[in-house]
């Protein structure tokens, strides 16, 4: 710090992309993906940090849209510093999930294209994150 000024830290989008194969989004609800590919994204850069196996199993949670599943998925992803969830489909737990993450609703596009869209919408995502638990989801459908 020079002259008592605090350095402003750049907001980093840490996004969990719901996928079964790392190339495309799957067509089930966000919490039903086999993997979450975790990306670090800024306006100018993106990097795959790691692939996380979805450890919440359907057979462990019998009720569709169970709030316990939402808590389980959220807790798992928060351990990786995730602040943004990206999927083609969200279920009724969206209301719970968006209290913890900015939720992006994406078209059926390859993951590499979605990364570009996230970079292009960096300021909007940053602004929505700042709203805290009252944040809304962001639809990025038909925005190509």
Total domain count, the chain? 1
**DSSP letters spanning 11-63:** P-EEEEEEESSSSBB-SS-GGG-SEEEEEEE-SS-EEEEEEEE----GGG--S
pLDDT tens for the 144 residues of the chain, in order:
454 444 567 899 999 999 999 999 999 999 999 999 999 999 999 999 999 999 886 544 455 567 788 888 999 999 999 999 999 999 888 988 999 999 999 999 999 999 999 999 999 999 999 999 999 999 998 866
pLDDT at 6: 46
CA-CA distances (angstroms) from residue 5 to 9, 10, 16, 23, 66? Answer: 12, 15, 33, 43, 47
Give the domain extent around 117.
13-139
Task: Check which CATH number belongs to the domain holding 109 and give it.
Answer: 3.30.420.130
Residue 79 resides in a domain = yes
The pTM of this model reads 0.87
**52 beta partners:** 36
pLDDT at 25: 96
Cα–Cα dist 123/42, whole Å: 10
Residue 131 resides in a domain = yes
Q: Are strands 13-19 and 35-41 parallel, antiparallel or unpaired?
A: antiparallel
Residue 67 resides in a domain = yes
Residue 3 resides in a domain = no
Give the tokens for residue 131.
């709203």
Residue 4 resides in a domain = no
């Amino acid at each position: 710090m020079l002259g008592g000024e605090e350095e402003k830290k750049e907001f980093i989008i840490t996004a969990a992309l719901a996928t079964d194969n790392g190339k495309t989004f799957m067509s089930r609800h966000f919490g039903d993906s086999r993997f979450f590919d975790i990306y670090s994204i800024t306006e100018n850069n993106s990097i795959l940090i790691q692939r996380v196996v979805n450890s919440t199993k359907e057979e462990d949670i019998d009720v569709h849209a169970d709030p316990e599943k939402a808590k389980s998925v959220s807790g798992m992803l928060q351990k990786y510093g995730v602040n943004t969830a990206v999927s083609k489909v969200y279920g009724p737990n969206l209301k719970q999930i968006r209290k913890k993450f900015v939720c992006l609703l994406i078209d059926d596009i390859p993951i590499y294209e979605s990364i570009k869209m996230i970079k292009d919408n960096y300021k909007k995502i940053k602004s929505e994150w700042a709203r805290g638990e009252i944040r809304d989801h962001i639809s990025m459908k038909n925005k190509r």
